[in-house]
Chain A
Amino acid sequence: MSDNDLSGKTAIVGIGESPIGNAGMSALGLMAVAAREALDDAGMTKADVDAVLTTESYVKPYNRLGSQFGEYFGLPKGVQYQESLSSGSGLAGGYGVHYAAAFVASGLCDTVLVVMGDNLLSSASRDNAVRAISENYEREFGVPYGPIVATRYAWMAQRYMQQYGATREQLSEVAVSARKWASLNPKALKRELIDGEDVTRSKVISTPLHMLDCSLVSDGGAAVVVTRAANAPDKSRAISVAGMGASFGNGEFSYDDITNLPDLVEQGQRPAAERALSMAGMNQKDIDLAYIYDCFSIMVLIELEGLGFCDPGEAAKFVAEGNIAPGGSLPTNTHGGLLSFAHPAKPGGLFMFTEAVRQLRGEAGDRQVSGAASSLIKGHMAHCAGHPVTVLTKN
């Protein structure tokens, strides 16, 4: 099957989200609420689901979360596959949609439910969540030295700012822009507008990153339903999976540990972006909306350049000029992102898909970007191992 055969063959026909914040449900409950809403939105029922793809929970090591979800949700016995993707946080959403599209396009399945949720805040507490994630990477050779999650991104920020002369003030504008979007989203957890000084006045976490450079800790679940585009129950609301691509690493080898990422600034996203855009028959200039896994502010600068939206060293200025904020030339993370909307860890990346679909359908309320017809979505696992890029378009 060539790339062109895959483009547009599948569509996201349903989206759903659980409550976020402190939601008072287990990971399975959050997933079930999101899944029910997504199936309702698609005009489908549980019986239409051939496969379910989930991701793991930080809070509770469910083991076999895919089949535990099917059992909790009451999927009928006709379901073929119930699988939990083990990849790190920001990968799971993108990988889930790519695998779902591939399953459907190949004919292996008709309809795949991608559903991810975790009760990170209510069950684990902010402190325990930060600890669990901090200790989940570089366990043998890094964790004994005491880095916090932010430290890996602090290293990237230090190198990025030195390499390009970017300023701390410019970096703050990433968080300021995210908050502007969140202020327009009634569901976002942090809606009060902030300025650059608020960012640098917030607590230092790991220099040069402050609290407001770091994503939130919350509960949350999201779900999308992927089916064959030709079978979409309501074609006017079906959003096409137009392009997919992925890459892994920027050196000679793929990697998992940050010590094997030779360059902390140019991280190897470009081949994935080019593949996804080429599959969609588009280039960066054709993209109306960007969704970037903004676990820490610095990632938005690194990704804007790595994906080819900005030339190397230009992203800081691009962001400081308001280009990713409401009214800007490349509206980015229009829900408020992980920085201001919500971040339930591994499921966090799937909210980029639910929001992109909402925007492309024209159903995003006060934050609707007029005429938005295409979006590019980019996740990454902690410290940038793995680069799934997805292009979604309006039919």
Chain B
Amino acid sequence: MDQRQAQASADTDRPLPVPTPESMPYWEAAREHRLIVQRCTECGLTQFYPPRVFCRRCMSELKWIECSGKGVVFASSTVVRAPSPSFAADAPYNVSMIELEEGIHLISNIVNPPSEGEAKIGAAVEVVFDDVTESVTLPKFRLV
């Protein structure tokens, strides 16, 4: 655990995800350091947000699939002005949109951003897991 992660763990007033019944499997898997998303058992559409009770396209059953954890940077920014005091100690820090190999986008942090600023679009990343509290793990990404 690097210094930033240690800082996050100590910080309990930071906003944490509040799972829904549908999203609970995602966060439970994250605690086990696995990244999962939903895929339709009929049309094959992979979908992420929000986790659903059936496919957003064809309304068939969904199953959770394990992601490779690999992807690329879709867009990236260095947050200098934190949105709230609980993030201020970390600023500047990276917040990016990641495009997973499975084709979905998610918001996350790049934990080893370039020293000169935000990450480049298209840069390869892989998932890492940040155990921010005893019960919450956030999937994050590192440039590879």
Contact = CB atoms under 8 A, between A and B. Distances in A.
B38 interface: no
Contact of A252 (B57, B76, B140): B57
Given A146-B95, A155-B75, A253-B56, 14 more contacts: A138-B49, A139-B15, A145-B108, A145-B138, A145-B140, A155-B74, A155-B76, A158-B121, A159-B121, A204-B80, A206-B95, A258-B107, A259-B97, A259-B104
Contacts of B83: 130-131, 134-135, 146-149
A171 interface: no
Interface string A261-286: 01010000000000000000000000
30 contacts: A130-B83, A135-B15, A135-B84, A139-B15, A140-B17, A140-B19, A140-B20, A141-B106, A141-B107, A144-B14, A145-B107, A146-B83, A146-B109, A147-B79, A148-B79, A148-B81, A149-B83, A151-B79, A155-B76, A155-B96, A158-B75, A159-B74, A206-B78, A206-B79, A207-B77, A208-B118, A209-B77, A252-B57, A253-B57, A258-B97
B117 A259 contact: no
A280 B62 CA distance: 44
Contacts of B56: 253
A147 B95 contact: yes
Interface string B7-46: 0000000111111100100000000000000000000000
Given A141-B17, A258-B107, A259-B106, A148 B82 contact: yes
B134 to A, nearest CB: 15
A134 B57 contact: no
B105 interface: yes
Interface residues of B, number: 43
Contact of B97 (A146, A155, A203, A207): A155
Nearest to B103: A262
Interface in A149-168: 149-151, 154-156, 158-159, 162
Nearest to B80: A204
Given A141-B49, A141-B106, A144-B17, A154 B87 contact: no
A193 interface: no
A206 B23 CA distance: 29
A257 B109 CA distance: 17
Nearest to A133: B83
A236 to B, nearest CB: 48
Nearest to A149: B83
